[in-house]
Amino acid sequence: MSFVRRAAVNFSLHLCWALLIALPVHSADLVLESQVGFHGLFQLGYPFPLRVELTNLGAPMEGTLDVQVRKGGGSKGTEFYTVHYQRELSLPAQSRRSVQFTVDPDSVSRPLIVNFSSPGTKVSKEIDLRRHFSPSPLILLLTENSVSPPVPLTSGTPGPLLSISLNDLPSDSRAYHGVSNIIFYEQSLRDLSRSQVSALESWLSSGGRMLVLGSIYYALYQEPWMSRFLPVRVAGLKKLSSLPNLEKIYGKRAAPVKNLLVQDSRLVEGSILIEERGIPILVERSMGMGKILYLSLDVGRPPLSRWEGLSLLFRDLLGPPAERRSTLQTSWDEAIFSQLLSNPSMISTYVPVRTFFLWLVIYLAGLGLLAWLWQRRFLPGRILAFSFLLLVFFSSFGGYLHFHRGGNIPDGVLLSSTLLEGLQDGYVEAQSNVAFFSTRRRLYSLQTKRGWDDVEPIPYRAGTPLEDNVLVIQEEGSSTQFRFPLREWSYRLFRVRSMDRFPFRAEIQTEGGKFFLKLTNLAPRDLTDCWLVFSGQRFSLGDILQGSSQVRELPLPSERSLSREGQPKKTDFREIPFEDKTKEILFRYSLFPQDQGMARWDGGAVLFFGWVKGDPRRVWVDDAQIQAYNYALFRVIIPLEEGEE
Amino acid sequence: MIRNPVLREGIEIYLIEGHGFSVYFYILLLLAPFEFLTLFLPSLDPQTWVGPANLFKLTSVVTLVLAVYFSLRIANQEFVPWRFLPLKRWLQQGDVAVSDIALAQGALLCLHGLVFLLVSSPLLVWAGAIARVSAVSIVFTLSCILFYSVTYGVWALVAAALWERRIENRQVFIRSFFLAVVFLSALLYLPLNPVAFLLAQLEGKEMAPLLLWGWRWSAPLVHFLFQFFLLGSALFLYRWALRRGVSL
């Protein structure tokens, strides 16, 4: 063999060896399994839980677990974009780890891709969602009893019923969006985690329905977590010979129930719907947009388990499926943000006008000085020419370095405007419109408090490069992080929804034929620039400080406020002035869009609104280079009764 | 080269006596306020306006137009025309050859182009830094501006050689030429237009190729072929006009 051939063979062998070493170990040591939804089922069109289980049979490893969802596309009328749900994981040797995500794909026709990647290891799995969806919302049943209570699902009740364990309850409220009812029967909530409780509360306040079915094991209903949800305080058991009030409603065609044990309780919060001899049988407690129903009867045991009236009772208890996603009350698009961007008070935050002017003055003054020196013939021509070159060089490079490093402007501007729509019981639906404007090309990381209901990125304009259409969502302790790249001088818009507490009370009182509106601010923030709109007239109320209240007489509609047909005139919100121009733009075009929903506050209702001073941030960026502006408006619409109108 | 009397005359009039300074002053007078106002005044389409994002593009375009326009005017000897010796006089005196005149006027044109660039370069560089444009793009833009001002300026030299005594003819010609370059080239095939080409390069957009005789010609190639054709034909005409001056 010649020397050249030997060298070639040697080289090829070394190359192959090097390639073999460089190749990732497609590890059989790591097993990736997944479970979609609740026992493999989720409601179509809503977020659902995805549990990924990693079993490491080999050496310890650290890596990233990533669930990739492709969203948007032609059916949504937008560009495609990719959402990555990620979690950094450390897997000890011979260990098993379970991670739960809440994913929200736009379509079931595109598979989910789950990846675990660490140096030298990459495991990937595709999940076909088509086999897992249900067109109707789910009903979850939690019971420790091996014999489930008979839950008769009639055509009027939302379907399918799934029996799950306490561990299967997600800790993220969004995972419950496809669930209409959760039923607890003989279930101890001792092992429920704080995050699970807070997710359940958040789900309830945004329209969820919880049904607690009583049992003879009443001690389970006296546990602290259970008491937190129950509208009653359970004291023990009582024997009732009959249930006439219940039978009057649900048991007309059924045989009467006799001699049964019911839970004895005392009402704490809510209203009693059915009562038998002073014992609450069916109690309802509303919680924001949702409700909790408590039935003191044990439907899992005879004689009630065989009662014919049960199906009618459950039809009412489970109720029709509620619309989980309310329509958005605000407008948020590029046209509105462009207006904000070109607003002088905003321009000054991201345009280096002052420093630019300073550099311009220095340069022109330098040229002027040289021209003067030339005119006076103080300096020879060569020195003047050299000075001119020096001036150009210094100005160009000095200015370049100054402006390239930022020029006293931030890397980005975050603007968040939140509408707190007042609901019942001191709850508000917070709709935050977020805009992130970047002055340089970099990766940004936006954070929201955990418990957000929905984050919707406003799709990019057509023609945006695919690599920029990416959103990475990462849960981190008490916050969720959204990472995305932005080019220089570009922006990204988001809409974030969540439920929150804001105990501001607005009630109408009648006294001596006059109507009064009583406003009580029990929230921990002051309300400034408050206005009342009623019957085509508007009144400035000034500031309502925390802990204070105001009573205002509702004036009768004057002739000026009525149209020719005698109907109240439409209120033009454009006439309401605000000192801050940004507030004015947000108010007119985003929070009170004139083109939609005018009917909601144009008659038959009293509208109150005010700006929240120092509203706690719902969306933020932990970066000193980002300038943040936060605006929040509280709004409540009080519908009038027929007589009041 | 520096001993060339035509070149010395130009330097004396424009730079030593300072008659060229007014031109540089005009450029700064137009460019500086334009750039400053562009930075914060919503312009063009207010729906998509982001001042700093377009600052470099707009400033480059204005600088390009100003540089080409004033190159044409200065090469056409529109400023203090009475101070220049007529070409015929130089040629008849016999101590200056046609090539010396061409070289001197060409060098003067390049010198003006360079000074235009130097005067406006701080403004352009700042605009580039604010708009986060790469240094390569800034250098490319500066080179383009110099190249176009020289390429089109040669046509003013042609006019000056052809109609030396008829200043109105020359003025009409160079203004018509300027408008044709700006508008007609855009109507004919957009990449031929220097403004459109520069904007496309700065935006990173690919321009539509030209399909001619079954061949696909890339837009930058067609653009530069056209520009070199303009420069070449101007130089050829200029040489012919100067020779015609000798024979007359």
What are the pLDDT digits (tens) for A357-388?
999 999 999 999 999 998 888 888 889 999 99
* Alpha-helical regions (H) of A470-617: 581-585
Report the gap between the CA of B6 and the closest CA in chain A (Å).
20
3-class SS of residue B185: helix
CA A217 – CA B114 distance, rounded (Å): 95
Q: Minimal CA–CA distance to B198: which of B112, B118, B124, B107? A: B124
Q: Minimal CA–CA distance to A349: which of B17, B50, B236, B180? A: B50
Chain-centroid distance, C-alpha A554: 36
3-class SS of residue A291: strand
Give contacts of A397 with chain B, Cβ < 8 Å: 125
Question: B125 vs A344: CB contact, 8 Å cut-off?
Answer: no
Give contacts of B141 with chain A, Cβ < 8 Å: none
Q: How far apart are the first and last CA of chain B?
A: 27
CA A312 – CA A299 distance, rounded (Å): 13
What secondary structure letter does DSSP report for A78?
S
- DSSP-assigned beta bridge partners for residue A70: A82
CA A72 – CA A78 distance, rounded (Å): 6
Question: A347 vs B118: CB contact, 8 Å cut-off?
Answer: no
CA A569 – CA A561 distance, rounded (Å): 6
- DSSP-assigned beta bridge partners for residue B48: none
Residue B121 · residue B142 · CB < 8 Å: yes
- DSSP-assigned beta bridge partners for residue A97: A54
CA A86 – CA A481 distance, rounded (Å): 10
Helices B219-247 and B135-162: crossing angle, nearest 10°?
Answer: 30
B49–chain A Cβ distance below 8 A for any pair = yes
**Phi–psi pair at A385, nearest 5 degrees:** -65, -40
Question: B52 vs A440: CB contact, 8 Å cut-off?
Answer: no
Question: B36 vs A407: CB contact, 8 Å cut-off?
Answer: no
Q: Minimal CA–CA distance to A412: which of A483, A351, A350, A493? A: A350
Residue B179 · residue B171 · CB < 8 Å: no
Q: Give the count of alpha carbons within 13 A of A577, CB side only.
A: 1
Question: A367 vs B28: CB contact, 8 Å cut-off?
Answer: yes
Q: Give the count of alpha carbons within 13 A of A202, CB side only.
A: 25
Q: Quick check: A320 pLDDT over 80?
A: no
Give the per-residue pLDDT at A24: 40
Average pLDDT along chain A = 83
3-class SS of residue B8: helix
Give the per-residue pLDDT at A271: 92
CA B167 – CA B82 distance, rounded (Å): 11
Report the gap between the CA of B27 and the closest CA in chain A (Å).
12
- Compare A407 and A88 and report the one with higher pLDDT: A88
- Summarize pLDDT for B103-145 with one digit per residue, the tens: 898 999 999 999 999 999 999 999 999 988 999 999 999 999 9
Q: Quick check: A19 pLDDT over 60?
A: no
| Interface with chain A: mutation pick from B40, B130, B206, highest number of A CBs within 10 Å | B130
CA A139 – CA A297 distance, rounded (Å): 20
Chain B residue with the nearest C-alpha to that of A361: B32
Q: In 10 A of CB A575, how many CB atoms?
A: 8
Give the model's confidence band at B215: pLDDT under 50 very low, under 70 low, under 90 confident, else very high.
confident
Altogether, the residues listed in chain B come to a count of 248
Query: Counting one residue from A and one from B, how many pairs have CB atoms under 8 Å apart?
Result: 89
B33–chain A Cβ distance below 8 A for any pair = no
3-class SS of residue A448: strand
Q: Considering all CA atoms of chain B, what is the largest pairwise distance in Å, rounded to the nearest integer? A: 64
CA A1 – CA A5 distance, rounded (Å): 6
Residue A300 · residue A150 · CB < 8 Å: yes
Altogether, the residues listed in chain A come to a count of 645
Strands in A527-534's sheet, in edge-to-edge order, are A452-457, A490-501, A427-438, A412-422, A626-639, A605-612, A527-534, A537-544
- Summarize pLDDT for A332-360 with one digit per residue, the tens: 888 888 888 888 888 888 888 889 999 99
Kindly state the percentage of chain B with pLDDT values over 70. Answer: 94
Q: Minimal CA–CA distance to B112: which of B204, B205, B26, B172? A: B26
* Alpha-helical regions (H) of A35-78: none
Give the model's confidence band at A37: pLDDT under 50 very low, under 70 low, under 90 confident, else very high.
very high
Q: Quick check: A496 pLDDT over 70?
A: yes
- DSSP-assigned beta bridge partners for residue A264: A236
CA A297 – CA A316 distance, rounded (Å): 15
pTM equals: 0.78
Q: Minimal CA–CA distance to A411: which of B147, B165, B132? A: B132
3-class SS of residue A42: strand
Give the per-residue pLDDT at A26: 45
